[in-house]
Structure 1
C-alpha cells in the first residue's frame, strides 16, 4: 500500500527505520478503519509481523531505547505516538469485544486477535518501561516543546493514553484462556516492576485497576510464585510503604502532599479481590489449628500471607478505616486475616490483630473518643457531604459501621479462643459488654494523657504513647539480650571493640525508652536516631 504525499513529507529528515515504521502503522490503521474489518483478518497479522520485526531489530533498540536522546526523539515524534496509541486502542477494543462475545456465548475469542497479541506485546512492554521511567528523576527524558506549548500538551496526553491502554491490554489478556504460559510470561513481570517507586498515585491507581486486579483474578495457581516473587511482592510492599508515610503525616501532622484517599480505595479494592470468597475456600479439617509454615496455601490470600509478601502489616494499608469506600473494600481482607489467625498458630498474625487491628477498630467505632482517626473521618465526611447526597453518605456510613461491628465481634471470638486476656473475654461476658469495656479503657487513656511535646518538637498524641507502652516490654527484652551479649563478649573476647559497641547500643536503647514515641509509630525514624546520637555524645 502506498503512503500519501502528506505522510511522506511529514517524515522528511526523520530516521529511515522510524519512517518505515510509521508508514506500516498508517497502512494498518487504514485497514482497521473500514467497517468490514473481518475481510482483512489475514492481512492485519502480516502488517503487524513487519512492525514486530522493526521493534525487535538491534538497530531500532540501540537507536531509540538504549539512550536518552533516542527516546527523546521517539517521544517527540507526534506521528509515532499517534500511531502507537491507535494501535493499542484497537487491540484494547477488540479484546473487550471478544470478551463480551465469549461471556454471551456467541463465539470464542477471535483467532486473529490471538495472532496479533504476541506481535504487539514487545513494543507495549518496552514503551511501558520507558513511560514509567519518565517519573524517575535520574532517568527523566526530555520531551521537546514548541513555543506555544501545545505540542507538549498533546504529547503528554498521548503518552498517558498509551500508558492506560497498555495497562488495559495486559489486564484483558489475563482473561484469555491459557494466556499465562503463552502471553503473560516473566518478561511482563519484569516490565511492570521496573520504575515502580517514582510512579505517582494516579499512575499506580491505573496500574492496580486495569492490570493488577485482572491478573490476580485470573492467575492460575501454578504461576503464583513467578508473579508474586517478581512483581506482586514488589508492588504490595511499595504501596504499603507510601501508604504508611502518607497516612501517618495526614493523621498526626495534618498534611500528606497528595491525599491518599483515592489511592487507598483502589488498593483496598485489590485486597478485596485477594480475599474473594471463591478464592478463599474453607480449609479442610486437616488445616485447622496448624502452624502456618506447615499449612498448604489453598488460596492466593493464604499464599501471600504465609510467604510474608506484604512485609509489615499495618493499618495504613486500609487507611485506618477513615474512608467509608476504602473500609468497605478492606473489611473482607481483615476478616480473612482473623480467620487465618484462628486456623493457624501464627503469632505474628495474632499480634497484629490484637495490637493493631483491635485498637484501630475501637477508635473508629467510638465517636466519643478524641483521636486522630475519628477526627480525620469527620473532616472527610464533612468535605464529602458538599459534593454528594447526604442520604447516600449516611447509608454508606451505616453499612460500613455495621460491617465493622461484625468484624469486631469476630475479633472478640478470636481473642477468647486464643489469647490470654480471658478475664475481659470470658464465656460469661457478652460481646456488647466487652466492647463497652474496650471503649471505656481507651477513653481513660485518652483523657488521662497530659498535653506535652516530644523532644523533637512534634505535637504529642495519646495514641502514640499507648503504642509505646504496649511495646515497652519488648524494649526491656531487647536490653536483656544486649546485657547478656555484653557479658559474653567481656568473658570470651580480648578485644574491647565489641564490648564498647554493645554498651553504646544499650545506652541508646535506654535513651529511646525515655524519649518516646516508639519508632514504629513515627515517620521520622532517622531524626530520632540522630537525636539519640547527639544526646549520647
Structure 2
C-alpha cells in the first residue's frame, strides 16, 4: 500500500477511535490498528504522519498525527539514520513556517512548536546552534511567526524546569541491556548539555524576547487604536506567547541576565496593562520564589531590588485605590493583586537580605504587607498571613537565641538580617495583626451583618471559599499568629484581647437580641485561651515566678475578670460560653491566686442556674451546658496548676473542725453515687443553709481577708457534696468533679494523690464489692438481662466503672514508661491504685463475662427482642464504617447518662433499646480500658489478679464475639498487657490469653479474606452488628470490619516483635549466617528473653501466628502487611541468631516465598522497602556459604523457579551481592533482581512515575515505551 493509502487508513482509524458514535468494537479495533502503526516501520510512521498534518485533513486527524510524530521523536528517534534525522528536522521546521503562514488554530501551532522542541532536545546541542539564526530571522516575519518561535522557545527548556529526578524508573537489574548507572549518566549529560547550550544562547534569546515583547505590544496598541482588531489580536497572541516563553526561563536563567537584557523592565512595564498583567506578574512570582544563592553578588541583589521596587510601586497604586474606595475594582484586578501579594511574600521569604539592607525600603515593604493583611478581600489577607507567620516564627526564634547567650557572634548572615527586622515590627504593626486576626476568627455564616464587631467590612471566611483548605486550618494559622505576637509583645496582646472581649460583652448586653451576637463572643474564646496560655505558660514562665510583664498583664486582666464575674446569664448557650471564658483564665489564675475562689464560686453559680436535665429534648442544651461547666473544673485544674488545691484542702480542715470527721463528709458525699446504697456516718450531712455553716464560712472569709460573692464560700468538695445530696448533681457530673480532684491532688505530690485516691474510691467499694448484686445480676445471662431493666442501678454501675477508668488515667504511668519488666516491689506498691485493684477488678470481670455471654448462640437465641435490638450497631457506627459524614458522638454523651435521665420517680421505668445499647457500649469501652490501664500499675496486677477470672471473662466466648469487639479487646487490653507483662510471667499470662485469640482470629480472618478475594464479599460473623441497609453498604461495612480486625491483630504481632520485648536477640548480623563467635548467647537464653522466642517455643501458639503472618502478605491490606513485616523481621533475626533448623526452614522457604508473593500485590507498595529488606536479610544470611544445605535448597529452588532467572543469573547476583556490605546497596540489588526475575510483575515495586512529557501537549507514555526510552538513550 502506498503512503497516501496508508494515510487514509490511519485517518479513518483516528476518526473511529475518537468518534462519539463509534461502537465499542470499532473503537477497540481502531486503537489496535493505530498502535500497530506506531510500533511498525519507523519510516512509514514518519511519512504517513507528515502527510496527515497537512491542511487537507481535519483538525482531529492533524492533531493526532502531530502526536504520532512526537511519539516517534521521543521513543524511536535512534532508529533513524543521522541523515534521516536531519531531513526529519528540516521538514518539521518547514512545517512550522507553513503553519505560521496559514494562520492555523492555536492547538496546531502549539503542537508544531512542541515537535520542534522535542527534536532539538533529542538531537542535541549541535542542531540547536544551527537553528538559532533561522529562528531569529523567522520571528521577524510577522506576529504569527513570532508567536510560534516563542512557543518553541517556551517548550524547549521543559526538560530543565519540569524535573524528573527520579531516574529509578529505569532501575531494572539487567545484564544484557545498558547498565543503570550508564543510563543515569547519559540522561544527566544530555540534560546538562542542553542547559549549557541554552545558557550560552541566553544573550541571543533574552534580547529577542524583549524585542518581540516591545514590538508586538506596541503594534497591538496601535492596531487596536486603528480598529484593526484581527491584526491586533495576532500581535496580542505574540505578546502572550512571548511572556509564556519568558516565564519558562524565569526559574533558572541567571537573574543578572534577566536584568541586563531588559526582561525585568519589560515585564514590569506590562504590569500596567490589563490584558497582559497576569502573565507578566507570573514572571515576577517565579523570579521572587528563587532562593538567594549563597554566593550571590551585587548584580543579583541589584536585580532583585529592582523587582522589589516594581512590585511595591504597583502594589501602592492598587492599595491606595482599594483603601480610598475610588472606582470599582473587578475580579480580574483582585486576581492580579493576589499574584502581586504572593510575589512579595515569596521575595520576602527567599530574598530577605535584598530588603533589610535599606531601612526605608524595609519599612515600606512591611507597611505593604500590613496593608495586604488588613485588606477586606480574604484572598489578599490569606496570602499575607503566610508571610507574617513565617516572619514571626523567625523573629521569636532569634529573640530566644539572642536572649539565651547574649551574643550574636555565632549567628549566620541570614540570622543577623532577621534580627534587623525586630525594631521594625513595632507596637502598631502587632496591634493591627491582632485586631484583624480577632475579627477574622468568625465565619461568615455565623456573622451578624448588622454588627460592626462581626468583622465590619471584612470579607470573612465562608463555606464557599475554595482552594485554601478548611476553616479549621485557617483558624489554626490565625491562632498561631496570635500566639507568636503574644510572645513577641505580651502586654499589647493581653490588652488587646481583654479590651475586645469587654467591648463585645458590653455591646451584647445592650443588643435587643443578644443571642444574635453571641457568635462573636464565642469566636474570641480561643483567642483569649491562646494569648493567656502564651503569656503565662510561655517561655517567660520557666522558673514559676511571675515576671514584670506577667504582673502587668494581671493588672490588665482584672477588668476582664470582673466583667465576666458580673454577668448574670442563665440561658444555656450563654452559660456555656461564659464557662469557656472562665476556664480560659486558668494560666492567669496561676499568677493571680486571689481570684481563684471567685472563679470557682461563679462556676458553681452557673451550674446551679441550669435545671437538672430529664429526658426531654427541650432541655438537651442545658444538659450539655452543665457538662461543660463541670468539665471547666478539670481544665482549670490542669492550667491553674496547684492554685485550686487550697480551695479543697483548707476547707477540708474546717469541715473536720465542724463535724469532727477525719475523712470529711463532703468528700464522702462526693463519692456516694446516685443509686448507691451507701450508709453515711452522718445522715444530716452538710446543710448549706444552716446558720452554723454560714457563720463558720463567714468567719473563715474574714480570716482570709476576703468576702466572696454570696456572703460565704464553700470548698469545692463540700459544694459538690451538697449539690449531690440535694439532687442537683447527676452521677456523670460528679464523676467529672472526682476527676478534677485527682488532677488537683496530683499537683500536691504522690502522697496527697494517694490519699485523695483512697478518699474517692473507698466509699465506692462498699457497693461495688457487695456479693448480693453480683449473684443476682452476674451469675448467668438472665441476670444481666434483668439488670438492663433496673435503670437506676444499671447506670450507677456504669458510672462506677467510668470513674475507675478516669482514676487510672489520672494516676497512670507517663507515656514512654510502659515497659515494666524490670519493676520492683517497691515501685508498684507506690502506685496510687495498686492496693485498690484486688477489689475493683473481680466484679468488673464478672460483668464483662456476663456481657460477652450475650453473643453466644445458645444465649442469643433466647434474648428478649429489646436486648437483641440493642446489640445491633447504632446508626453512628454504621455511617462511620461507611465513611459517611456524621457528627462525632462524644463519650460524654454516654457518660452523662443517668438513672435520672428518665423522667421517673420510682426507678422502675424501663430503658429503651438505645439506652441499653449505649450502656453495653459504655461498659465495654470503659471496662476494657480499666483492664488495659490496670496493666500499667505494675507487677501487682500480674501477680495478684486471678488469671482464671481474666481468661473466663475475655476468652470464654471469643468464638462468638463480633470482629469489632475483638478489635477493641485487642487494642484496649491485650496490647497493653503484652507490653507490660513481666517476662517471668509470660508462661502464665501470654500463653493463656494469646492461644485462643490467635487460633480463632486466624481461622476467622482466613475464611473472611477468602470470601473477599474469591467471591468479592467478606464473610464477617458480625450477625448482630450488621442488620439492614443495601447489599452494597453491607458489603462495604463487612470489608471495613475485616480490615480493621486484620490490622489490629497485626498490630499485636508488631508489639510482640518490638525490640523492647526481644532484647535478647542480637542486632542484625553483618555478612553471612554462620555463628562462629564463642561468646554468642546460647539459644535457650535468646529464646527465654524474647517474646517471639517464647511464642515459637509454644507450638500451639506458633503455628497460627506464623500462618497468620504468611497470609497477611497475601491479603490486600498494606497496613496489615507493614505490621506483620515488623514481626517477621524479628523472626528472621531469631533464625539468624539461633541454630533452630525448623525455624530456618520456615524462614527460607515459607516466609521468603510469601514475601515475594506479597510484592506482587499493589496494595503492598508502601511496605515494599521493608519486604525487600527482609528478602535481603534472608538471602545474605542464609546464602551458599551457610553450612546447612537443606535450607539453602528451599529458597534457591524458589528463586530459580521464577520465570526470568537462570542459574547463571543467580550466580551473577550472588557475586554482585558479595561485593558490597552496604545494606542499602544490597537492598537495591535485591529489588532489581526480583523485578527482572519476575518479568517486572511485582506490582508493589512497579514504577508509578512516567517520564517527562511536554505538558498540555501529549498524553502519558505507556510503561513499556518508558523503559525503552530510558534504556536507549
Normalising by the smaller structure, the TM-score range is 0.5 to 0.7
1:288 is displaced (CA, Å) by 6.0
Quickly say closer, same or farther: Cα 1:278–1:114, change in 2 above 3 A: closer
**1:93 corresponding residue in structure 2:** 806
Instruction: Give the alignment partner of residue 420 of structure 1, picking from 1192, 1196, 1201.
Output: 1192
Quickly say closer, same or farther: Cα 1:69–1:344, change in 2 above 3 A: same
Instruction: Give the alignment partner of residue 1177 of structure 2, picking from 410, 435, 444.
Output: 410
**1:401 corresponding residue in structure 2:** 1168
**1:337 corresponding residue in structure 2:** 1131
SS of residue paired to 1:175: coil
Could you tell me how far apart the structure 2 residues matched to 1:32 and 1:40 are? Answer: 14
**1:462 corresponding residue in structure 2:** none
Could you tell me how far apart the structure 1 residues matched to 2:1241 and 2:735 are? Answer: 68
**2:1102 corresponding residue in structure 1:** 310
Could you tell me how far apart the structure 2 residues matched to 1:295 and 1:282 are? Answer: 5
**2:855 corresponding residue in structure 1:** 135
The correspondence of residues 424-435 of structure 1 with structure 2, limited to 5 A, is 424=1210, 427-428=1214-1215, 430=1217
Instruction: Give the alignment partner of residue 261 of structure 1, picking from 1032, 1043, 1053.
Output: 1043
Q: Give deviations 1:361-385, integer Å, cap 9, x for gaps.
A: 223334xxxxxx44xx39xxxxxxx
Could you tell me how far apart the structure 2 residues matched to 1:98 and 1:40 are? Answer: 11
Could you tell me how far apart the structure 2 residues matched to 1:287 and 1:48 are? Answer: 57
Q: TM-score, normalised by structure 2?
A: 0.28
Instruction: Give the alignment partner of residue 928 of structure 2, picking from 148, 167, 171.
Output: 167
**1:200 corresponding residue in structure 2:** 962
2:987 equivalent to 1:225 = yes
Determine if contact 2:1065/2:1134 at 8 Å carries over to the other structure: no
Could you tell me how far apart the structure 2 residues matched to 1:357 and 1:101 are? Answer: 38
**2:600 corresponding residue in structure 1:** none
1:264 is displaced (CA, Å) by 1.5
1:322 is displaced (CA, Å) by 3.1
Could you tell me how far apart the structure 2 residues matched to 1:21 and 1:222 are? Answer: 43
1:434 is displaced (CA, Å) by 6.2
Could you tell me how far apart the structure 1 residues matched to 2:756 and 2:1134 are? Answer: 54
Could you tell me how far apart the structure 2 residues matched to 1:178 and 1:42 are? Answer: 20
Instruction: Give the alignment partner of residue 47 of structure 1, picking from 760, 763, 780.
Output: 763
Quickly say closer, same or farther: Cα 1:332–1:254, change in 2 above 3 A: same
1:436 is displaced (CA, Å) by 5.5
Could you tell me how far apart the structure 1 residues matched to 2:983 and 2:830 are? Answer: 26
SS of residue paired to 2:1051: helix
1:185 is displaced (CA, Å) by 4.0
The correspondence of residues 447-486 of structure 1 with structure 2, limited to 5 A, is none
| RMSD between superposed Cα atoms in Å | 3.9
The correspondence of residues 117-132 of structure 1 with structure 2, limited to 5 A, is 117-132=837-852
Q: TM-score, normalised by structure 1?
A: 0.64
SS of residue paired to 1:210: helix
Could you tell me how far apart the structure 1 residues matched to 2:1176 and 2:814 are? Answer: 44
**1:187 corresponding residue in structure 2:** 949
1:252 is displaced (CA, Å) by 2.9
Quickly say closer, same or farther: Cα 1:95–1:66, change in 2 above 3 A: closer
Determine if contact 1:281/1:299 at 8 Å carries over to the other structure: yes
Quickly say closer, same or farther: Cα 1:330–1:101, change in 2 above 3 A: closer
Determine if contact 1:247/1:316 at 8 Å carries over to the other structure: no
Determine if contact 2:1046/2:1120 at 8 Å carries over to the other structure: yes
1:163 is displaced (CA, Å) by 0.7
Q: Give deviations 1:296-336, integer Å, cap 9, x for gaps.
A: 42211110112122324224553536323222222221111
Q: Which has the larger radius of gyration?
A: 2
**2:585 corresponding residue in structure 1:** none
Quickly say closer, same or farther: Cα 1:222–1:186, change in 2 above 3 A: farther
Could you tell me how far apart the structure 2 residues matched to 1:442 and 1:144 are? Answer: 57
**2:1151 corresponding residue in structure 1:** 357
Determine if contact 2:1112/2:1120 at 8 Å carries over to the other structure: yes
2:790 equivalent to 1:74 = no
1:157 is displaced (CA, Å) by 1.6
Determine if contact 1:236/1:310 at 8 Å carries over to the other structure: no
Determine if contact 2:828/2:834 at 8 Å carries over to the other structure: no
The correspondence of residues 273-292 of structure 1 with structure 2, limited to 5 A, is 273-283=1055-1065
**1:535 corresponding residue in structure 2:** none
Quickly say closer, same or farther: Cα 1:299–1:86, change in 2 above 3 A: same
Q: Give deviations 1:263-285, integer Å, cap 9, x for gaps.
A: 11111111111111122124476
Determine if contact 1:45/1:112 at 8 Å carries over to the other structure: no
Determine if contact 2:735/2:799 at 8 Å carries over to the other structure: no
Determine if contact 1:41/1:112 at 8 Å carries over to the other structure: yes
Quickly say closer, same or farther: Cα 1:318–1:24, change in 2 above 3 A: farther
Name the stretch that deviates more: 167-176 or 259-268: 259-268
1:440 is displaced (CA, Å) by 5.7
Name the stretch that deviates more: 258-267 or 45-54: 45-54
Quickly say closer, same or farther: Cα 1:327–1:273, change in 2 above 3 A: same
Q: Give deviations 1:439-469, integer Å, cap 9, x for gaps.
A: 56656999xxxxxxxxxxxxxxxxxxxxxxx
Q: Give deviations 1:39-96, integer Å, cap 9, x for gaps.
A: 8755544423322442x34xx4543233443221112333233222211111111111
Could you tell me how far apart the structure 2 residues matched to 1:319 and 1:167 are? Answer: 30
Aligned length: 395
Determine if contact 2:1113/2:1155 at 8 Å carries over to the other structure: no
SS of residue paired to 1:114: coil
SS of residue paired to 2:1061: coil
Determine if contact 2:852/2:957 at 8 Å carries over to the other structure: yes
Instruction: Give the alignment partner of residue 919 of structure 2, picking from 158, 170, 191.
Output: 158
**1:518 corresponding residue in structure 2:** none
Determine if contact 1:247/1:319 at 8 Å carries over to the other structure: no
Query: Comparing both chains, which one has the higher relative contact order based on Cα–Cα distances under 8 Å and sequence gaps of 6 or more?
Result: 1
Could you tell me how far apart the structure 2 residues matched to 1:411 and 1:102 are? Answer: 35
Could you tell me how far apart the structure 1 residues matched to 2:1113 and 2:946 are? Answer: 32
